[in-house]
């Protein structure tokens, strides 16, 4: 199964009032495992970048001036995402911009049936808790120290890790390590990895005394020689004495 984890950066909050895409980042998951394949592009929005947006993502008008316009990258973008599900945090925002840009080029919109909103997943799993990308990274112990500003590719990489935690699929990313390492971490049982039980350095002392065993033998003999029990008792006695 192929999924695409995707994020965008924009000049503002509303494409209907003239805001445009400035960056798209996406990473590929195969069976919930990052494949290493990704898509990333900066886009010339054909307008100035407001200071409010610049403070969020750090992409200035000057930096974006020589970047390709969306029309020049749309085919490569659509080829990368194919027909596969798209995992997006607060999907309505990103899809609103992507479909607006597609509409400007008279391209077909991407249907909501393809979109998995990780924010909706997080709100169902953690109602009442913080469910921003940073908050979820903190919750799941995901290192987001590089995220000084928003960036579409980095945010997609972080979201891929968060998404796997939300769906309980992060185990598939774990490789088996030596049983000693698993035991020392104390996580082997929680991760579902079977660790072979090591033999005791010294066997436990027997709990039955010789008097206990003699009393049991006398008790069994009281059943008589024709009982089935004697067949088992005789074989075990022979094994014990042989």
Q: Which of 42, 48, 40 has the alpha carbon at shortest distance from 11?
A: 48
The confidence score (pLDDT) of residue 221 equals 75
Residue matched to tokens 């960036």:
151
Q: Give pLDDT tens digits along the chain (242 positions).
A: 999 999 999 999 999 999 999 999 999 999 999 999 999 999 999 999 999 999 999 999 999 999 999 999 999 999 999 999 999 999 999 999 999 999 999 999 999 999 999 999 999 999 988 999 999 999 999 998 887 778 999 999 999 999 999 998 555 444 333 334 444 334 433 334 444 455 555 666 676 778 878 887 777 777 676 666 566 555 555 444 44
Give the domains, in start order, of the chain with CATH numbers. Answer: 2-173 (3.30.420.10)
Residues carrying an active site annotation? 150
Distance CA 23, CA 32 (A): 24
The confidence score (pLDDT) of residue 242 equals 45
The confidence score (pLDDT) of residue 195 equals 43
Residue matched to tokens 């400035």:
22
Q: What is the pLDDT of residues 59-68, one digit of tens each?
A: 999 999 999 9
The confidence score (pLDDT) of residue 216 equals 78
The confidence score (pLDDT) of residue 82 equals 98
Exposed/middle/buried for 209, CB within 10 Å: 0-12, 13-18, 19+? exposed
The confidence score (pLDDT) of residue 180 equals 41
DSSP string, 181-242: HHHHHT-HHHHT---PPPPPSSPPPPS--HHHHHHHHHHHHTT-TTSHHHHHHHHHHHHHH-
- CA 114, 120, 125 angle in degrees (round to 5)? 125
The confidence score (pLDDT) of residue 200 equals 54
The confidence score (pLDDT) of residue 146 equals 81
């Amino acid at each position: 199964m192929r999924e695409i984890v995707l994020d965008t950066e924009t000049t503002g909050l509303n494409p209907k009032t003239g805001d445009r895409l400035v960056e798209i980042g996406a990473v590929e998951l195969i069976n919930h495992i990052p494949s290493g394949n990704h898509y990333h592009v900066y886009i010339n929005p054909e307008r100035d970048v407001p200071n409010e947006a610049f403070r969020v993502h750090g992409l200035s008008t000057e930096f974006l001036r020589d970047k390709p316009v969306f029309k020049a990258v749309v085919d490569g973008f659509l080829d990368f995402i194919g027909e596969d599900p798209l995992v997006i945090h607060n999907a309505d925002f990103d899809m609103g911009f992507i479909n607006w840009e597609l509409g400007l080029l008279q391209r077909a919109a991407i249907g909501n049936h393809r979109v998995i909103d990780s924010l909706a997943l997080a709100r169902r799993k953690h109602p009442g808790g913080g469910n921003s990308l940073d908050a979820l990274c903190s919750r799941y112990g995901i290192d987001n120290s590089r995220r000084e500003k928003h960036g579409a590719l980095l945010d997609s990489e972080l979201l891929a890790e968060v998404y796997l935690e939300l769906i309980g699929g992060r185990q598939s990313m774990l490789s088996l390590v030596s049983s000693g390492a698993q035991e020392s971490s104390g996580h082997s049982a929680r991760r579902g990895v079977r660790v072979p039980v090591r033999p005791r350095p010294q066997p436990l002392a027997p709990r039955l005394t010789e008097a206990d065993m003699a009393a049991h033998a006398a008790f069994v003999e009281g059943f008589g020689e024709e009982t089935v029990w004697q067949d088992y008792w005789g074989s075990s006695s022979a094994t014990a004495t042989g």
